[in-house]
A and B are shown apart, each in its own frame.
Chain A
């Protein structure tokens, strides 16, 4: 934990010049501080130009490959027979799962290969199938409207806490049929799951373990109430009654639960914040939106691209394989930097810019591709669409009035504070 803090204090702000002067072999884009300072883009731009499939031989996460261009990322993501997600090989993030005794050995289908992955994913997919989303939409809209109606205008508020966290927690509570008055537990468990001990959310792996076991016990209780009662569209009822998931071992139960909580929480939360930031950085786009609210449809996937709520996903090569002219050896760690691929000018026109009326706005990497593609992608879009429709009905301008603060994480691209002032229509 101390290394995190020291590294953060020691590093000065990077510029294009200082980044250009670093020997290529020393570039380590997995340093969490680069994401907190939001300077990692300078490093990615250089790698895409000079060394798109880049080997970093030493880092606090061990040696790893960085894949930085759109099409190379696509090639890795769609080749699950060579690039494994298996937790026991390290899983899906640069920071290995199952790394030491103090870490929980969580089992979740995002970190499994077929056939086990397929059976478990199929069991929970119906909860967020488009037909089920249609049933959820009026509830989500009503609750979103209530959250926005309660906001004060013409004074500084933190958009992250007052809106983004509230809205996503509310949706999660709806999906899990979770007691409304206890919904803050959900966002706490989401934060704890992805937290690096010592970076502000939990103090130690031990504390993290303790809180997550509490989460599991809480849900175990609700699960037992629902077992053999298959009516209900919520995720717990579905998992408790599907043959593929009803007899899961404890850590598999906890893992899949946390996967659904994190998957639907951090990611959408940061897209809701990122959208406000993007519209403020590109006022011409905000103007376009005000003039033509029908652009919300194409703006939503553009927000998800521009923000890229998960900076990376990781795979492990299970045989020697060539990628972009480099030989990746069996057992090596391969990081797909979605954040970099989404800025690849050779595939996306004006990739750095936020443009709300792109012709193919969904051609981005934020949801991944292949069998692990985000199963909540339509729900994420639905939530963002509702939020922006309701915002536009009420406010002429959500004005950013201070610098955003960002999460110390190379995985969740998080905005932790965003001061805004609301202007009524």
Chain B
């Protein structure tokens, strides 16, 4: 079936309406007419002559011609033509052979073969003309040179005349019709292809392009990109404002001025930025270009509108504008130079910082600000760093336009283009003059404070030294007086002198505590841990022991044999702690004993313990006594600084120890200071 269809299908060459197709049709039509003109008289003559054979052939030929006519639009027409011509020529052969004395039998046979071949080809009018001419010549030869009967002769004459006339007329008609048709066809073809070409060109524009009627705002012509925005030219007429703005009225106002109005009024191209809608409802920034189209009289008869999506550009511009604002209003100075250092931009801060106006700075080199106070090496380092492509940070001493100096802290970074080449340098500058001054002031202030502190320390040390020496005389002479070195005194005199000596001792203790307190509070306590033998702790106890003896107390010292042979810690401060505790014990103990023990608590800790048989401390006071300027209640008869235990606790904590207190009022107290055994679990 398919084969049949393709057999009957139009020949691929024969484009509908093309001259080639017309040619083919005419090639069929002309011989058809000619054959009818030929066959019909021939048939009439054959019947008149009573020759049935040729008559049948002619009938067959007529039918074949008719069939060929109906199939002419297909390839099959060639066969039809072939059969037709074959019959025609066979008829001629019979016609000629039937006559005696034929000259041209062979030639006619040849022409028959030629005709068959022609019939199988696509016949052109030219070929047909040659063919018709040749056929006419054969007939003419037959007529002129073949002897015929009178009757046959006249018959031949008629046939020849009819044939030549018909062939010539049809050939001419064919030729002229074909020519005019071809011209019209080609012209039409040209127009169509031009229009198509134009459409292709405009469709190739990726942005919307359309032509607007200046009176109705209707879009008359649009490219693919414009149609994609929603124009369905087939069904409804779009206006430009409906297409891109979803409006029902033309654009207006400052936000969206109508380009058409501007183009009509100005008779010149106009460009404007609009926000356009896409079919999905989203918007984009469009740069709309309107171009007027004039008629011969110079009136605007149309406007071409071409719009470009500039959303990306707008975003970039927006970003640039934001950055520009940021730079402009930044608290830091910003300078942009080219690679040679020529200033291309300076923000307002720079103008305030340097005193130069923008006009004075642009095109200048920053060396304009050089004061000569910045070391040459700084500039060398700066340039080598940024030329290398690294970021430089540093401080320059620059000079303002008014001649004053200022400190400038700056960060300079190179800016590279897409090829990685350095094109510019950006410098962020901070005027740090004020900070510099403040720093300077602070440093001076700190130095003053430190000097004052040093002076205070020295003063305290000197004062204490100079107070202790006379105290020595008071205590010493007092004791000698009591001892009867300078003669016997009454008991009352001795008692008063003892009081005097006690007061001097307390004054001394107060001075010592004051110095310790000052040292602790200044935060300058520097521990110097070193190994020492436990007995060394008792080396400085002597004066306390003497005091105890003076008061008639017994002081018993014990060293636990299980203690390590050497302990580690700051011996000086440990002695101060022990002295303080012992002094305290003696101070608050009128009679009895005071024990001083060094003992091992456990594997990791050892302790100094001072136990007395004194007035004791009530439990609720246990915490308070470790605070500065606190003393046991009802102890107004004992003068003291109140600094002792506060210092002890502070020292113990500084040395990573703990202080424990057990006390029964009226019975006595035990202070225990626990320290880690050095090297076993911890470094003090």
A binds B: no
B interface, CB within 8 angstroms of A: none
